[in-house]
Structure formats: C-alpha cells, structure tokens
Amino acid sequence: MVVGRRPVREKRAKGVVHVVGEYLGAILSIVVIDLVLSGDNAVVIGMAARSLSPENRRRAIIFGGAGAIGLRILFTALAVFLLSVPYLQAIGGVLLLYIAYKLIRPQQTLHEVAQAGSLREAIKTIILADVVMSLDNILAVGGAAHGDIRLLLFGLALSIPIILFGAELVARLLGRLPVLVYVGCFVLIVTAVEMILGDAVIHERFMVSLPATIGIMALLSLIIIGSAVWTGRRQGTELTGGSH
C-alpha cells in the first residue's frame, strides 16, 4: 500500500512544484515589467508637477495618481476581455514586440509634457499622460498574468507605489543600471511570443513545439535588441560627425 502511493505522491509533488514555478515566473515577469514600464509614467508625473509648490506637488501626485490607477484598473479589465478574443491576443503580442523595441531604442528627447501651472491642471495632465502611456504596461502585465485575476491584482498593486512614490527612484535606477532596460525588453519579447503562440486559433493550427518557441524568442531578441543597439551607434556616429 505504501509503495503504491509513493508514485502518486511524487506526481502530486511535481505538479505543485510546476504550478509554483509558473506563478513565481509570472510574478517575476510582472515585477520587471512594472519596474521598467512604469518608469516613464513616474517621470511624466514628476515633470507635470515640478512647477508646483511642495504641498501642491504632493497633492497632485496623490490625487492624480489615484485617478490614473482607477482608470488603469478599468483598462486592465477591458484588456483582459479583448485578449480573450481569438486573434486579438496575437495582435496584442505583435504590438508588444513593437513596445519592446520602442522601450530600448535610442531617444534624443524626453517625453514632451507641458508643465502644469495649477493643481487642477497638474492632476489632469498626470491622469491623461498615465492613461496614454499605461496601455503598454496594461498589455504587458495582462499577457504575463495569462488572465489570472490574482496576478493582475498583484500587478496593479505593485504599480501603485511605483507611480506614486517611485518617480525619482525609478529614473535613477534605470540610469545607473541600463542593463535593466534590456532585461525588461527580453521579458517583453518572451511574453509577446507566448501571447502570439498562445492565441487559441494559432495554437490549434500550428502547435509550435517548445524548442521552436525558444528559438523564436532567441531570434526575435537578437533582431530587436540588435537593431536598437545598431540604431544607437548609427545615431551616435551621425551626431559626432555633425558636431565637427
């Protein structure tokens, strides 16, 4: 009796380890995605409120961030619904690949955000900027969470302190650890490929194997990251040549 139960227990243990591993992987992906993609949101909030007095600046960040988080929750619910429709998940994955490239491509200027002169204008600017710039974050977190409401709530909860309190910290972190941007880009590429191949219609028609999936992820990583690095070197050469 005891010998017969051992294989069953081992299978259950392996199943638990597999589930826990998937959850930890999804959580790690969400943490990296939130940390990297929420950086732009935090920078915009700081730029929009920097012309205010310290007291009004704090209020603008709190109230504007609270309104933006409420809209983010609504957008997340809509994103999960849309991503459950056939082919839309694949389209979302393709869009996420573009977002991954946009994240690491060299930019000559920062986001142009008009400085708000009053508290009300600052709050409006923060909410509008966060809604526009959070679409990529919502899409990425939604893909990494695989529709799990608990992971979605975790991603939303994690984004709150980053948005409200992490503006300067995130900007300094990305400045001191540039490799974090490439790590985030790789996480986005992996998530995008999983979204594309995980689409109900595509998965049913093609049934891509695990080695092929890993190969696709590696190839896209080389193309996207390599093209961004090449573009950066080319722009640097042009700027250096133009300065002489």
Exposure class string for 43-71: b at 16+ Cβ within 10 A, else e: bbbbbbbeebeeebbebbbebbbbbbbee
0.85 surpassed by pTM: no
pLDDT of residue 7: 59
* pLDDT confidence of residue 24: 82
pLDDT at residue 130, rounded to an integer: 67
What's the CA gap between 158 and 148, in Å, rounded?
Answer: 15
Is residue 95 exposed (0-12), middle (13-18) or buried (19+ Cβ within 10 Å)?
middle
10-residue stretch averages of pLDDT, the chain, 244 residues long = 55 63 80 69 65 76 74 71 73 80 63 56 72 62 72 76 64 64 80 83 88 94 91 66 49
Q: How far apart are CA 123 and CA 146, in angstroms?
A: 32
pLDDT at 114: 45
Q: What pLDDT score was predicted for residue 224?
A: 92
Q: In sequence order, what are the residues at sequence separation of 6 or more whose Cβ sits closer than 8 angstroms to the Cβ of residue 129? A: 41, 44, 45, 48, 111, 113
What is the C-alpha separation between 7 and 82, in angstroms, rounded? Answer: 42
Q: In sequence order, what E strands does the chain have? A: none
The pLDDT, as a whole number, for residue 191 is 80
Instruction: Tell me the angle at which helices 149-165 and 54-83 cross, rounded to the nearest 10 degrees.
Output: 160
* Model pLDDT, residue 244: 46
Tell me if residue 146 falls in helix, strand or coil: coil
